[in-house]
Each structure stands twice: as structure tokens, then as C-alpha cells.
Amino acid sequence: MIAGIILAAGASTRMGSPKALLKIGAKTFLQHIVEELQKANISEIVIVLGANAEKIQQEHLSLREKIIINHNWQQGQLSSLLAGINCIEKKNIDGVIVCPVDHPLISAKLISEMMQTFYSSKKKIIIPVFNKQRGHPVIFAKELFEEIKNAPLEIGARGVLKNFSGEISDVSTKEQGILLNIDTKKKYEEIFFNE
């Protein structure tokens, strides 16, 4: 079983408002990611909040997923990933799919393809690729949790990718959304309102 960890703890300083609450149609980024994970039959989902946690929770009272608060969110994204892993690692899982909330344009189809590759390739890291560029989300096998825990905060999971480059299996996709990091209001408006 693969579990899902959604990283939504950052302050969204450049955006000016919580990215988790931005909308794709009628749904927030956070709702969209949760629903796509669920459609791909990922039942164990952890949402990691930090800055603006209360506001985000108020907006998502209907969510039944486990929400945890990373009080060290200012230490960066790795601290949130660690909070998620610490919450989930004792469960009977084979790995986690890590979904940053500012990369919301993911689909259940892609998630399912990544999970299939994880089990068929026996590789420990699965990354989607669009036009020869790697993006998000990323699957990490449970065997790498200790490596992630020992990674320097300033380098984060990138160090694990570098150290285990031979354990990476790429999944080619036509979904450009894997590359779209929506971290400014300008970027958000370009993607969703300039069609």
C-alpha cells in the first residue's frame, strides 16, 4: 500500500494567501489533490499544515483525512515531510507519494501509473517526467525513510534523489501540470485565468 502525504505548511509569502485555499474551479488545491489521491485508491492520506493551519482547517471541515501540524514549518519543506513520515511510518505501507500543495495539477491516472511502476520496477523512487523534465509528485519507498530523516534540512529530499539516483524510475507523462509550481499570484492567474 502507498500512503499519501500532502505538504501544505508553508507561509505562501510570495502568493500573499494560503496556496491550499486557491481554487481549481469550485475546489481548493487541497481538495483537488485529496480527491485525485482517493480516486487512485490511496486511502491513507496525511495533510501537513503549518502556517495558516487554522484558516485552512476551517475551510476544509469536511475533510476526513488526518491533519497534522508541523510547528517547525519555518525550517522548510523537509521538516513537513518528516512530520508526515513520522505520523505514517508505523502503518503497514510500502511507501509514500509526496504531493506539494503548490503542484496541484495532478491526476488519479498519473498517480495510478506511478504506483504500478513502483511495484513492477521494484525501484525505490518514482518520478513523473514531462518533456524530459522531472516534476511532482514523487513516490519514496519505506526503505528510504531513514535516509530522508538524516538528510540536511537545507538540501532536503533532493539529497536522497542524488544519493539514490540508481533507484529512480521515471514515468513519462503528457501532463505538464507535474512541472507547474504555482507560487505567485501572477503564475496562478496565468495558468487559470488566461485560457
Tell me the per-residue pLDDT of 104-118, one tens digit each, with 9 for 90 and over.
Answer: 999 999 999 999 999
**CA distance to 17, 38, 61, 174, 184, per residue, from 64 (Å):** 23, 12, 8, 31, 29
Contact (Cβ atoms closer than 8 angstroms) between residue 103 and residue 137? yes
C-alpha cell at 148: 530522508
Cα separation, 160 vs 93, whole angstroms: 20
Tell me the per-residue pLDDT of 129-142, one tens digit each, with 9 for 90 and over.
Answer: 999 999 999 999 99
Number of domains in the chain: 1
Contact (Cβ atoms closer than 8 angstroms) between residue 3 and residue 34? no
Which CATH number does the domain housing residue 111 bear? 3.90.550.10
Tell which residue, 120, 137, 141, 118, has the closest CA to residue 129. 137
What percent of the chain is modeled with pLDDT above 70?
Answer: 99
Tell me the per-residue pLDDT of 86-106, one tens digit each, with 9 for 90 and over.
Answer: 999 888 999 999 999 999 999
Tell me the DSSP string of 24-51: ETTEEHHHHHHHHHHHTT---EEEEEBT
Q: State the chain's mean pLDDT as an integer.
A: 92
The secondary element (H helix, E strand) that includes residue 138 is strand 138-141
Greater confidence (52 vs 191) lies with: 52
Peptide bond into 18 cis (omega under 30): no
Cα separation, 50 vs 85, whole angstroms: 15
* Confidence (pLDDT) at 148: 94
Range(s) of the domain holding residue 70: 2-193
Tell me the per-residue pLDDT of 24-36, one tens digit each, with 9 for 90 and over.
Answer: 989 999 999 999 9
Greater confidence (40 vs 187) lies with: 40
Instruction: Give residue 154's pLDDT band: very low, low, confident or very high (50, 70, 90).
Output: confident
